[in-house]
Structure 1
């Protein structure tokens, strides 16, 4: 395998740590309540506070509305567990105004939340039946095969129900934070800092209001893009934080997980 392929393997290995940030370190398990602070939304969608506060879903109701296996084609969907818990106090940002974005990255709820439920949605590997032996793979073919193996998107989904008007407030707070922090900030979790170099608006639709961004981190000069989506439906706010290993260093381009967002939006109807 040539040098570029080896380099991509190393990048993918280092990206595995970022995958934990995006999917495994997202937050608490089902039936969480009032787990701290968070924000929702930024620069891609309207902000319309409901005239009459919507129903506040209980943990059981959120659980029924959360994604389950089979809701999104060609993915594996599992509940987040206790090992995924990251308390709000454990997420820090060097710029206070950026904290709602940092919280959303880890699925942490805004103050005023009543319950939370979280899921992991991971693309299933593509089975095309075209496996080749090492002897059959050219250098370029081996690199392409390696890239394809890592070309899987993993999305951490967090659903939070809120009391009163705090759901709409949480969404608005995230939108403002994303706009204010477009130039970047540093988020620290469990003593490990991650440099975010940009927060750029993306397009998304759904819910009563929705917004999306590409959040780009950088480590040793190598950039890794993440997709962050916020969707409010009534008094429930859902956040989606997605990552693709093969996208590290510009290897591939991956999109906002619109199919995951749409499936969750439908179940919140």
Structure 2
């Protein structure tokens, strides 16, 4: 994935250019439910699935409950997803089949055989634009790039398909936490480690994780992901921060996007 070639030297480029590179990649209130890396809590992951599978939502029904522009007070929600943000499962192959669910999650590709899928991309509005006098300084450029992006995939499943997808993802996380390699859209991606983090509330089952990926020149990139099941629908969120992509540093998951989407899945 081309986002993995983002280097520290990209700080000299414009924010728009780096944002374009980042599109090839491919998670309560902000105050109380921040992503807590490394604490291993999964408060939603061990709930017992319903004995009677819920009815799968149709594509039209998914469109109605998917994140919309009116649901956010910051940033832009794109509803027509194409190209690098619309990766298909056939384009993703993990070297270890046990890690395939994590590879699909990271690539924002729906798992299994969904009855219907819908995608959204939310991009945060820029917090600060560099002035003409300091536009080339590293500090100013980092400030301009400090914005989050979330690729959201909603997939509905017949019978117990959603429960199976979640179960497979959880097993993959346990098996492949030490890292894995996969090919996505023709490019090899090496994930160095996956750290389970605190899962969000508001779902029947949920997992959250931080993925550290090897980038060029020995650098690293951090992705965040949430996989949540609500009835027969699985919602997968992959988050990237452009400044963090350039520096390899950690960032906080935009949990309000997860909360908003899960609240719509009634």
Structure 1 and Structure 2 fold alike (TM over 0.5)? yes
How high is the TM-score relative to the length of structure 2? 0.81
Aligned to 2:185: 190
Aligned to 1:50: 50
C-alpha displacement of 1:109: 2.3
Aligned to 2:163: 168
C-alpha separation in 1, matches of 2:19 and 2:244: 9
C-alpha separation in 2, matches of 1:138 and 1:89: 42
C-alpha separation in 2, matches of 1:19 and 1:62: 23
C-alpha displacement of 1:143: 2.2
**Gap change, CA 1:253 and 1:215, over 3 Å in 2:** closer
Aligned residues of 1:79 and 1:120 also touching (Cα < 8 A): yes
Aligned to 2:35: none
C-alpha separation in 2, matches of 1:138 and 1:79: 32
Aligned to 2:73: 73
**Gap change, CA 1:214 and 1:234, over 3 Å in 2:** same
CA deviations over 1:100-129 (Å, ceiling 9, x no partner): 01111223223231000000000011258x
Aligned to 1:25: none
**Gap change, CA 1:138 and 1:80, over 3 Å in 2:** closer
Aligned to 1:264: 261
C-alpha separation in 2, matches of 1:251 and 1:112: 34
C-alpha displacement of 1:145: 1.2
Aligned residues of 2:116 and 2:155 also touching (Cα < 8 A): yes
C-alpha displacement of 1:20: 1.3
C-alpha separation in 1, matches of 2:24 and 2:251: 18
**2:228 is matched with which residue: 217, 228, 231?**
231
C-alpha separation in 1, matches of 2:143 and 2:184: 30
1:153 pairs with 2:155 = no
C-alpha separation in 2, matches of 1:138 and 1:157: 32
RMSD after superposition: 2.6
Aligned residues of 1:43 and 1:175 also touching (Cα < 8 A): no
Structure 2: stretches of 5+ with no match in the other structure: 1-6, 27-39
**2:204 is matched with which residue: 202, 208, 226?**
208
C-alpha displacement of 1:70: 2.6
Aligned residues of 1:43 and 1:176 also touching (Cα < 8 A): no
SS at 1:63's partner residue? helix
Aligned residues of 2:56 and 2:156 also touching (Cα < 8 A): yes
67-76 or 77-86, which deviates more = 77-86
SS at 1:21's partner residue? coil
How high is the TM-score relative to the length of structure 1? 0.81
How many residue pairs align between the two structures? Answer: 240
Aligned to 2:245: 248
CA deviations over 1:49-95 (Å, ceiling 9, x no partner): 21111121111000000001031221200114343433322101111
Q: Which has the larger radius of gyration?
A: 1
C-alpha separation in 2, matches of 1:138 and 1:112: 47
1:21 pairs with 2:25 = yes
**Gap change, CA 1:148 and 1:232, over 3 Å in 2:** same
